[in-house]
Structure 1
Amino acid sequence: MDSGGSGLRVALGTVEADGAVETTVCDRPVRTGPAGIDAGHLLEQLLPAARRMLERHGAGAGPGIVSVAIGAAGMATLGGQLRAELPAALERELGVRRSALAADAVTAYAGAVGQRPGAVVAGGTGMIALGTDLTDWRRADGWGHLLGDCGGGAWIGRAGLDAAMRAHDGRRGGSPALLARLEAVFGPAPELPGLLYPRTDRPAVLASFAPEVGACAGHDPVAAGILREAAGHIAAAAAAVCPKAGTDGDPCEVALTGGLFRMGDPLLVPLREELSRQVPQARAVPGSGDPLDGALSIARALAKGDLRLPRHPALLCVPGDGPEQRPRTGIDRSE
């Protein structure tokens, strides 16, 4: 299962075969309250969907679900109730034998890189980088649009709108091209604060302007400069988490995943240049799968007893793992 801001996606697969036999979408995002992500609300959606899928594939009367992996946005900081309540509930309601609860950055890693050492940069409205040498996890950014997410969609959109407002005022650093796009998308520039500030989804609104920055970058030096700066931030996050090259000189794979990178060359060309400069041991690769693919691969590896990704109490929790089964845990932020 993959839980994010737009709802839940649930995939059912078999232990031996790759891929999913069925995927379904529950379009209600899971509520978050004072105790964090609401485990009861998640189960209200997950259990009926899982039972319908099992019945359609004739698994209801068989061995049932061997393993489950749940990836959720906010799991690392808001997942306490999920970790406390879901494993027992899944065993009781679905007969689940083993479960893994993961941050969405971990399922993004598993979907994009697999169970190999490397790093993933997940870019959308926000931006987070996660890497591992299969001993520890290293995380960089993902702190939200007020404290970080540097180079992500909201960051790019905000920088573009700032340049547009500068042009409206006649201040240095303004972009008439971006001002024209602001007015085409949002209306008169002086009305933008009244449209933006009352919104509870400000990061998404800011990120909606990022494609306009990308579209202007080919002919507007201010827009191109914004994307070069974003590329520098993204490469810096990758550099912070990328494992060092081994003694055999193998490069570190850095998978780029998420909607941000669909912007294409206006962002990818400067990003490749920045990765080459800041992380010379890195080799940028497209992600081979998304977070739901990653959750399914974690569940499959768990069923086979072959989950090699590092356990961590907040990032990747596998209830019932004995200490002798767990890799050393922790997040290394020493560099």
Structure 2
Amino acid sequence: MTPSAGSASEWVLGVDSGGSGLRIGLARAGDPQPVGTVVSREPVRTGAAGIDAGHLLEQLLPAARDVLGREGAGHPAESGGRVATVAIGAAGMATLGDDLRATLPGALAAALGVRRLALAADAVTAYAGALGPRPGVVVAAGTGLIALGATLGTADGPGTWRRADGWGHLLGDCGGGAWIGRAGLEAALRASDGRRRGSRALLARMEAVFGPAAELPGLLYPRTDRAAVLASFAPEVGRCAAEDPVAAEILREAAHCIAEAAAAVRPPDDGGEAPFDVALTGGLFGMGEQLLGPVREAIGRHLPYARLVPAAGDPLDGALGIAAALAMDELLLPADPRLLHLPAMPEAEPPESRA
């Protein structure tokens, strides 16, 4: 049975699940600005089966009930509506989301009465938050880096997603926080050894943050959060870049990687001269002008017809926007089995029968 289109009186939930934990927002279907939020600082576990759906639900359901209760959304008679739709953006959804896709539709229908669900890669919710439902390119960069491009459906065919990088700190994420931090630490160790392309400035910062050079491998290699530890040194590279040519070159190379990823996912255009929007989102760009200046220059070289625009919102805003649009039958972003999955939902019991 296909559910009817939602109304502005219905409530929607947006969820942003990443390396720093969960953020949950509640909004009206007709206005995706959150009226209540809950934050959990515990990241969802990943195991042999991928992202652990049970662990996500252990955190999501109590937090969702909390925000729903605070806003009077738990009972339609009190709120003038019902919780119709949930959109979850999760890091690793594209490749590690099988347990979420199998478990969440039934679990959320049973626990919250959800009738519609969107399961999205965190890059998709980052895209939706930054650009909304329009074609273009978004580069999301924090510890890692991924570029995502979208075209919308027309009478000639459905829309499509294009992605570049996002392969993790061992195989890619070129230009992201872990990549910059690793390059900075390598330059520091080169200086410690007396090799070329070393940086005495970065060596001093490395020793201040991590201790003597000889101890760094023992501190870093056994850790399961190596990518986050590497990324923690990226701001030090940014601080040194104003005076240190090695650090400045690292950021220029990172900017080249960012522009290259954006160019790989640009909207297809036979002439190559149609303008399109590019937005940058994620904590890495908080590094400021030391990185943003080289990025603007690199994008100008690689994508001369791109318009670099500010991100309108963050991934939680994107999840709420997707949920609101889905509830109103107005979702324009393309569905995709791995990037933006819209599963069939079981019939939810009326809230009165679950009380």
TM-score normalised by the shorter chain: which range applies? over 0.9
1:163 aligns with 2:187: yes
Greater mean deviation of Cα atoms: 107-116 or 180-189: 180-189
Shift of 1:249: 6.0
Aligned to 1:214: 238
Structure 1 gaps of 5+ residues are: 322-335
Shift of 1:300: 0.2
Q: Given the alignment, which residue of 48, 54, 68 partners 2:86?
A: 68
Aligned to 2:53: 39
In structure 2, what residue type is equivalent to 1:263?
A: M
Aligned to 1:327: none
Greater mean deviation of Cα atoms: 58-67 or 128-137: 58-67
Shift of 1:64: 2.3
- For residues 82-121 of structure 1, the aligned pairs below 5 Å read 82-121=100-139
Shift of 1:261: 0.5
In structure 2, what residue type is equivalent to 1:276?
A: G
In structure 2, what residue type is equivalent to 1:100?
A: A
Shift of 1:244: 4.0
**Distance in 1, Cα, partners of 2:21 & 2:281:** 19
In structure 2, what residue type is equivalent to 1:304?
A: M
TM-score (norm 2): 0.88
Aligned to 2:296: 272
Residues 23/247 of structure 1: CA separation in 2 closer, same or farther (3 Å cut): farther
Greater mean deviation of Cα atoms: 217-226 or 244-253: 244-253
**Distance in 2, Cα, partners of 1:131 & 1:285:** 14
TM-score (norm 1): 0.93
Work out whether residues 7 and 28 of structure 1, in 8 Å CA contact, stay in contact via their aligned partners in 2.
Answer: yes
Shift of 1:170: 0.8
In structure 2, what residue type is equivalent to 1:99?
A: L
1:3 aligns with 2:17: yes
Aligned to 2:215: 191
Shift of 1:247: 8.1
Work out whether residues 54 and 64 of structure 1, in 8 Å CA contact, stay in contact via their aligned partners in 2.
Answer: no
Work out whether residues 87 and 320 of structure 2, in 8 Å CA contact, stay in contact via their aligned partners in 1.
Answer: yes
1:122 aligns with 2:136: no
**Distance in 2, Cα, partners of 1:265 & 1:295:** 29
Shift of 1:273: 0.7
Residues 275/248 of structure 1: CA separation in 2 closer, same or farther (3 Å cut): closer
Aligned to 1:58: 72
**Distance in 1, Cα, partners of 2:55 & 2:297:** 45
**Distance in 2, Cα, partners of 1:229 & 1:40:** 41
Work out whether residues 244 and 281 of structure 1, in 8 Å CA contact, stay in contact via their aligned partners in 2.
Answer: no
**Distance in 2, Cα, partners of 1:177 & 1:248:** 42
Shift of 1:113: 0.6
Aligned to 1:292: 316
Shift of 1:245: 5.7
Greater mean deviation of Cα atoms: 229-238 or 239-248: 239-248
**Distance in 2, Cα, partners of 1:71 & 1:291:** 8
Number of matched pairs: 321
In structure 1, what residue type is equivalent to 2:295?
A: L
**Distance in 2, Cα, partners of 1:169 & 1:255:** 40
- Provide runs of 4+ in structure 1 moved above 2 Å: 244-250
- For residues 224-263 of structure 1, the aligned pairs below 5 Å read 224-244=248-268, 251-263=275-287
Shift of 1:147: 0.3
Greater mean deviation of Cα atoms: 288-297 or 191-200: 191-200
Work out whether residues 310 and 316 of structure 1, in 8 Å CA contact, stay in contact via their aligned partners in 2.
Answer: yes
Aligned to 2:7: none
1:12 aligns with 2:30: no
When the two chains are superposed, the root-mean-square deviation of aligned CA atoms in Å is 1.5
Shift of 1:246: 8.8
Work out whether residues 245 and 281 of structure 1, in 8 Å CA contact, stay in contact via their aligned partners in 2.
Answer: no
3-state secondary structure, aligned to 1:58:
coil
- For residues 128-147 of structure 1, the aligned pairs below 5 Å read 128-134=146-152, 135-147=159-171
